[in-house]
A = this chain, B = another copy of it.
Amino acid sequence: MRLTAKSEYGLLAMIDLACRVDQGPVSAREISDRQGIPAKYLEQLFVGLRKAGLVGAVRGAHGGFALHRPAGEITVLDVVEALEGSLRPTVCDGDRAAACGRGDACAAAGVWDRATSAVRDVLESTTLDSLARTQEVLDESGAARSPIER
């Protein structure tokens, strides 16, 4: 179970898209400027997001990316698994469980499973829609203090 910069950047980008669903495709360049994500790195992430069916791409001039499903039907877990692969325990998974010789008879494995499930529950119960609206509220209330500058 790992959460890296891919997830962080990817979620920021997806929230950015969710805040602009009514604007047609948004270019990776625009998002990378706005969110402070390295441009070429973000392009790579969008490849994964597209292959997972979370975003649609429009090539050519004035192209860009847009959510491929309603924001309320895309969870953070969808984004994370599109970018990092299936969210399983990194410890005591299939290979290692065999290595330690216990198979199912390992008390420790249960803890790792429960921890992973707990994370899944959180990520699965949070949609892009709710995050986008939260973000909009935050942007409004902080607009006077120019949050991008600081």
Chain A residues within 8 Å of B, Cβ to Cβ: 1-5, 7-8, 11-12, 15, 35-36, 76, 89-92, 96, 99-103, 105-108, 110-112, 114-115, 118-119, 121-123, 126, 131-132, 134-135, 138-139, 141-142, 147-150
Q: B residues within 8 A CB of A123?
A: 111, 115
CB distance from A25 to the nearest CB of B (A): 22
How would you classify the secondary structure of chain A's contact residues: helix, strand, loop or mixed?
helix
The complex is assembled from copies of this chain, and their number is: 2
Nearest chain B residue, comparing its CB with the CB of A110: B134
Bound together, the chains give a CA A31 to CA B76 distance in angstroms of 40
Q: Is B3 a contact partner of A115 (Cβ separation < 8 A)?
A: yes
